[in-house]
Structure 1
Amino acid sequence: MSRVRGRDTKPEIAIRSELHRRGLRFRVHQRPIESFRRTADIVFRPAMVAVMIDGCYWHGCPDHYRPSTKNSAFWQEKIALNLKRDQETNEALQEAGWLVLRFWEHESPVSVSDRIQELVTDRRASRRHERR
């Protein structure tokens, strides 16, 4: 497991490159809430948008997750705990006013970036409007 990347995976890098190419600026692997010990893969702090790129195996993708045949009880529990932690993270960030976006690693970087750009742009506009 020590060889499994926890950050800077190929899907994350592809999405970050696409977002940067579009002129969007963001933080990488930051805690959206300083006191909360969870990080987001991509953070748009002023817009309060946290983006997570979830691996199909580690987060139980309904399309691609295949249970392990070796030590299956351990891995089923591990994936279930990951899903529970993901839900807790979503709830904590949403309660603090953050928009949480989750995408699967198999999704197209271009379509993911389209969605992120749309929602970040909308959030920025609405937050500017609220401050007036």
Structure 2
Amino acid sequence: MADVHEPKIRSYNMSQVKGKNTKPELVVRKFLFANGFRYRINQKDLPGKPDIVLKKYKCVIFVNGCFWHGHKGCKYFVLPKTRTEWWLQKIKGTQKRDRKAEIELNILGWRVITIWECELKAKVRAENLKNIITYLLKNIG
């Protein structure tokens, strides 16, 4: 099936996909701040440039989009029917990069939390965000 958009329009649409300060990231950051946690964002000197860095707790948080990071078993991750092989390689590359960053962070002594976009949907958001704080206070603080 051919793309329904001209290349210029498709290029513009893809350029508007945010890589940082996404709505899910802002939800997590707002919750952490409201609960007294202070953090840095997108710290470039750490592997994977984590979305949220809680230096006091030696913990980083990645807020992953279910589609872009290939969340296995998630209803929000559906492989496109066009250019399937290209998308599969792109998502596998992202997953490989994610695993590498997590391993490197662990070697440096950082704990890694990954929260998925689907875990921030309205019905489950409060519980999952509370779980982050419980983890931080129980295992790190």
| CA deviation map 1:22-46 (0-9, x unaligned) | 1111111113xx2x55211110012
1:32-111 mapped onto 2 (5 Å cutoff): 34=45, 36=46, 38-62=48-72, 63=74, 64-108=76-120, 109-111=125-127
Question: Paired residue for 1:22?
Answer: 35
Q: What secondary structure sits across from 1:40 in the alignment?
A: coil
Q: What secondary structure sits across from 1:82 in the alignment?
A: helix
Question: Paired residue for 2:8?
Answer: none
* Greater relative CO, 1 or 2 (CA 8 Å, sep 6+): 1
- Which amino acid is 1:4 matched to? V
d(CA) in 1 for partners of 2:92, 2:69:
8
Give TM-score, length-normalised by structure 2. Answer: 0.79
d(CA) in 1 for partners of 2:52, 2:85:
32
How many residue pairs get matched? 122
- The alignment's C-alpha RMSD in Å is 1.5
Q: Which runs of 5+ in 2 are unaligned?
A: 1-13
Query: Is contact 2:79–2:87 with CA below 8 Å preserved after alignment?
Result: yes
What is the percent sequence identity of the aligned residues? 30
1:2 aligns with 2:2: no
Q: What secondary structure sits across from 2:53 in the alignment?
A: strand
Query: Is contact 1:46–1:124 with CA below 8 Å preserved after alignment?
Result: no
Q: What secondary structure sits across from 1:59 in the alignment?
A: coil
d(CA) in 2 for partners of 1:43, 1:113:
16
Select the structure of larger CA radius of gyration. 2
